[in-house]
Amino acid sequence: MLENIALIKEVHEQLATDKAQAIARKFLLNIDEEEISLKRLSACSSIEVFYVQFIRALMTKEMSIIIIAPFSLIENLGNINDIIDKLKLINRKKNILILDRLHNETHYEGCPCNIVK
Amino acid sequence: MIFRFIHDVGDRTINSLSSLREALKFTSLCLIHMVNPRSYNPAMRMVLTKQIYFTAVTIIPIFLMMAFIFGSIIIGAVIALATEYSLQDSIGSIIVTFVINEFAPFFTALLISLRSGTAINTEIAVMNVNKELNTLREYKIDIIDYLFLPRIISGIISVTSLSILFALIMLSSGYIFTLFYMNMDFHTYKYLLISAIEVSDILVLLLKSIAFGFVTMLIPIYSGLKTANSYTAIPISVLNGMVKLFIAIFFIEVLSLVLQLL
C-alpha cells in the first residue's frame, strides 16, 4: 500500500519515489500502522484501507478532507473517537468534515468535534 | 424491406466510423503524451520499470525455449527446402529475409499479445468496472501517463528487444542446420549472413517491432477502457480486444510485405 499512498506526491509534486514513500511510511509510523506499507489491498482490513485513504488525502494539496459515512466504511467501528485520535496524530493542517446519517448519532457521543445537524 | 436494409448499413457505417474516430483520437492522445517530457513522472517511471520486467524479463525462459524449438524447426524446414530447390546460393538472403524481416517480429508480437495483451486488457477492464480509474481521475492522476503510457512503452521495448533475441536464436539455429545439410563451416555461414544483411533489413525489423509493440498494448488498453459497467462484460472485452489485436497484427504484417514489394 506504500506505493498507493506515495503515488499522489510522485505525480503532483514530481517527488522521487523513495522520498514520497518515506513520507508515506512516516505517516503510517505515526499512527502505529507501519505494517500496512507491506500489505496488498486484498490483505488489508477495512480500517487499514481507511487509514490509507486518509493519508492519501493528506498527501493532496486540498485543504479539506470529507469522510462520508465512516461507520459503513469501517467494519465494527464502535465510536468515532477510536479513529479521530489516530487521525489527529497525523493531521494538523487540514479541515476534516465527517458526513453521516442521523441514525448514527449515538456513535458520535463524546466526540470533541463540532456537530452540525 | 430495402429501406430497412439501407438504414442498417448506414447505421453500422456511422457507428464504425465513429468508433474508428474515437480510437484514432485515443491513439493520438497517447502519442502526444509519449512525446511530452512531463508525462515521465517518478510514478510513471516506476510502473514502466515494472512493466518491462513483467513483459520482457519474466517471459525470457519460456521465450528462449519456444524460440529455440520453433525457430530451429522452421529455419530447418526453410534450409531443407532451399537445398531441395537448389537455392544454396541465395541461402543467406533467404535466412535474413525470413528470420529478420518476417518471422522474428511476427512471432514475438503473437507471443506478447497472448501473454501480456490479454493480461492488460483484463487489468484495465477490471479497473474500469471497479471504478478505480475514476478514483485516479478524482485524485487528478492522469491515467494515460500513469497507466497507459508505461504499458505502451514497455510493449514497444519488449517486442523490439525480444524480436532481436528471437532473430539471434533463429540465426544460431540456422547455422546448425546449414552445418548439417550443407556441411557449411561457421565462417562461411557468418560471411553469407553478413553479405546478405542490409540496413533496410534491420530497419524493417525495428519498425515492425515498434509497430507491433505499440498495437499489442494500445488495443487491449483501449478495449479494457471501453468495457461496459459489469463483471460479465470483462470476458467480452478481452475477446473483442484480442480479435482486434490479431487483425491489427496481420494488417501490419501485410502492410510491411506490400511496402517491401513496392
pLDDT, one tens digit per residue, over A55-77 is 888 888 888 888 888 888 888 87
**Structural domain includes residue A117:** no
A114, part of any domain: no
Tell which residue, A99, A96, A92, has the closest CA to residue A117.
A99
Would you state the pLDDT for residue B210? 95
Q: Are B215 and B252 in contact (CB under 8 A)?
A: yes
Q: What CATH number is associated with residue A50? A: 3.40.50.300
Contact between residue A97 and residue A64 where contact means Cβ atoms under 8 Å apart = yes
Which among B166, B144, B136, B152 has a CA at the least distance from the CA of B38? B144
Q: Is A47:A83 a contact under the CB 8 Å cutoff?
A: yes
Contact of B3 with chain A, judged by CB distance below 8 Å, is answered with no
Contact list, A12 vs chain B (CB under 8 Å): 140
Q: How far is B141 from chain A (nearest CA, A)?
A: 7
Whole-angstrom distance, CA of residue B38 vs CA of residue B27:
18
In whole angstroms, give the CA distance from residue B181 to residue B82: 10
Distances (CA, A) of A94 to A15, A88, A91, B139, B207: 21, 10, 6, 16, 52
| C-beta neighbour count of B153 within 10 angstroms | 22
- Among the residue ranges A33-42, B21-30, B157-166, B239-248, the one predicted with the least confidence is A33-42
Write out A75-103 in H/E/C secondary structure. CCCCCCHHHHHHHHHHCCCCEEEEECCHH
Interval B44-68: pLDDT, tens: 999 999 999 999 999 999 888 888 8
Give contacts of A 57-76 with B, CB under 8 A.
60
Q: If you count residue pairs, one on A and one on B, with CB atoms under 8 Å apart, how many are there? A: 33
**Nearest C-alpha neighbor of B151 from the set B49, B245, B240:** B49
Instruction: Tell if the CB–CB gap between B42 and A20 is shorter than 8 Å.
Output: yes
Which of A16, A56, A60 lies nearest to residue B42, judging by beta carbons? A16
Residue A115 counted as domain residue = no
pLDDT digits (tens, 9 = 90+) for B113-172: 999 999 999 999 999 998 889 988 988 889 999 999 999 999 999 999 999 999 998 888
Percentage above 70 pLDDT, chain B: 100
Q: How confident is the model at residue B243, as a pLDDT?
A: 94
Task: Tell me phi and psi for residue A69, to 5 degrees.
Answer: 45, 65
Neighbours of B225 (CB within 10 A): 19
Rounded Cα distance between A28 and A112, Å, is: 23
Any domain includes A28: yes
Print the domain residue range for A85. 2-108
Partner residue opposite B43 with nearest CB, options A7, A56, A60: A7
Put residue A10 in one of left, alpha, beta given phi > 0 → left and psi -120 to 50 → alpha.
alpha
Going by C-alpha positions, the residue among B219, B199, B172, B205 that lies closest to residue B71 is B172
Task: Tell me if A11 and B46 make a contact (CB, 8 A cut-off).
Answer: no
**What is the domain count for chain A?**
1
The answer on pLDDT for B190 being more than 90 is no
What's the CA gap between B20 and B67, in Å, rounded? 35
Give me the residue from A15, A56, A60 closest to B42, CB to CB.
Answer: A15
Residue A68 pairs in a beta bridge with A99
A37 occurs within a structural domain: yes
pLDDT > 80? residue A106: no
Bridge partners for A67 per DSSP: A98
Residue A12 lies in a domain: yes
pLDDT at position A76 is 81
Q: Which of B137, B140, B149 to mutate to test the interface with A (most CBs of A within 10 A)?
A: B140
Check: CB of residue B252 under 8 Å from CB of residue B218. no
